[in-house]
Amino acid sequence: MKNNRIARSLCALAAMACTLAASPPAMAWGANGHRIVGAIAQEYLSPQAHAAMLEILGSETLAEAGPWPDFMRSDPDEFWQQTASPWHYVTVPEGQAYDDAGAPPQGDALTALDRFAATLRDPSASLSDRQTALRFIVHIVGDLQQPLHAGDGTDRGGNDVKVTWFGEPTNLHALWDSGLLDSQELSYSEYAEWLNADLTPQEMREWASPDPRVWIADSAAVRPGLYPADPDLGYEYNYRFKGLMEERLQKGGLRLAAYLNRVFAPE
């Protein structure tokens, strides 16, 4: 019986790895990662933020809103192909803070957050612009918790680091976007429920910062440890980093709620 269970697990992981290898290059947390962040955040919205979300998105939840900017990257319009492309990441060179390097001329995730927060606070902004702003904020806050979205500027956030995942070729960025998460074989709602239930009051207090510079510094601090000495990755890498991946998703949910609560706080 034990051998049969091991064989079934190996087959499932092999099938998952093949799916990952056949997928197009990942660009952010996979859809389920963004859904998990949104679902956790939904539980911690202030009454004002919850009311504003209903006014802007209607029945659309934060879990639904999160993956939208990645979906729209297939739109051939110049806005999605060029203007919005840098809004998913920041660059923090090794040994520096975000403000040491600053944002590039085309902007980045932090400048986009400021832009979209201003849109949500603008009473003259159209409903369409506010919907775009809120969906982008949900997405960007999630992105900034993925440590390789605070890359050091040398390897495109790990996209240039080729690895294998259970024998199938991929890259380190794609592995952190979706490979580790998908290998747990849970739906986003199951994962969000479990991760939310596992949060302690101390973690809620310590992690729920609304300051993007705190999130960026946090991601840049753990980033170097993600790079493996051996590019052939599987069970051992999953064992080492599953907990960190889950912590990043938990932080994303708490921080998204904190950010939205600040944006929609009464003046």
Residues spanned by the domain of 243: 2-263
Residues 3-36 have pLDDT tens digits of 443 343 334 334 333 333 333 344 568 999 999 9
Strands 162-165 and 168-171: antiparallel
Q: Within 10 Å of residue 94's Cβ, how many Cβ atoms?
A: 10
SS3 content of the chain, % helix, strand, coil (to 5): 65, 5, 30
Pair 75, 83: CB distance under 8 Å: no
pLDDT of amino acid 28: 66
The helix (run of H) or strand (run of E) holding residue 193 is helix 188-198
How many angstroms separate the Cα of 84 from the Cα of each of 26, 154, 240?
A: 16, 21, 34
Q: For residue 195, is it left (φ>0), alpha (ψ between -120 and 50) or beta?
A: alpha
pLDDT of amino acid 266: 86
Residues (pLDDT < 50) of the chain are: 1-26
**Number of domains into which the chain is organized:** 1
Q: What is the CATH number of the domain that holds 209?
A: 1.10.575.10
pLDDT of amino acid 29: 84
Three-state DSSP class for 235?
helix
